[in-house]
Structure 1
Amino acid sequence: MSRHHFYMKANWSGGRGGVGTISAGHLQSHISIPEVMDGPGVGTNPDEMLIGAAGTCYLITLAAILERRQLPVLELTLETEGIVHADKKLVFEKIIHRPRLVVEDTATENQLDSIKQAAEHAEKNCMISNALRGNVELEVDAHIFKKHEQT
């Protein structure tokens, strides 16, 4: 068994309205509470980083599955949405991945079905999704278009 270690360094100045910085490998950013939560909105925040981690893990996993299955995908883009609700405390409720896949016009129905299955399969095999599962609702809303159908 091999283990991989990842590290982050952070600093913070001030209280709730303060600003900090993080450094984790190639990721370097200012951080603060977002404006929508009455913070200064400087740099990124934990909510954006969580959907960023979930989205990039999902996207890379999906790309690997599509490649392994040799499916005729020409373009792959992703929008990921995170939903947080405030009750007595803030709760990260749901993450929705919306992959958009453009396929060759010659793609068969079987290939289209396999692409749809790959989109669902990627969410179930992404390491970050698996770390969140049971605490955050995870959803995939895939949109697949043949090249001539793009809008």
Structure 2
Amino acid sequence: MTTTSTAELIRAAGLRVTAPRQAVLEVLTSVRSHPDAEEITSATRERIGKVSHQTVYDVLAAFERADLVRCIEPAGASAARYELQRHDNHHHMVCRSCQQIFDVPCLGAGAPCLHPDDAFGFEIEIAEVLYWGRCSECRATEGEPAAAAP
């Protein structure tokens, strides 16, 4: 993603374009992982030099409110993780060994792909699913055979 594209996305979200905002958005568009705020801060500093942790947290909070990023907070994780908000109705798998988070497409026809028995009057918009287990790489290094593909 180019700097112009990030500036346009930030403006379209109703936010003022700043160097830290552009750099954070560039970081998130350049990775497929789900970095935490510390990783985002380090990568942002590589792009623009000095930037405080608080500035990065403020940018992430503004982006989350503007629906530019999605915060993932797996139970027991040491830190919240972030990804671009793609509105593609995907879920996540978390490896218990390496803590890596993988995107999992939802097999349902539309959002949300899960519905509660009783919606209590809610109009359900999204269902978040977290799968926990161990990734094939960790299983291989721990001496267990990888699961056969379906």
Shorter-normalised TM range: under 0.3
Is the radius of gyration larger for structure 1 or structure 2? 1
Q: Please, what TM-score do these two structures have when normalized by structure 2?
A: 0.25
User: Which structure carries more strand by proportion?
Assistant: 1
> Which structure is richer in relative contact order (CA contacts within 8 A, separation 6 or more)?
1
Q: Please, what TM-score do these two structures have when normalized by structure 1?
A: 0.25
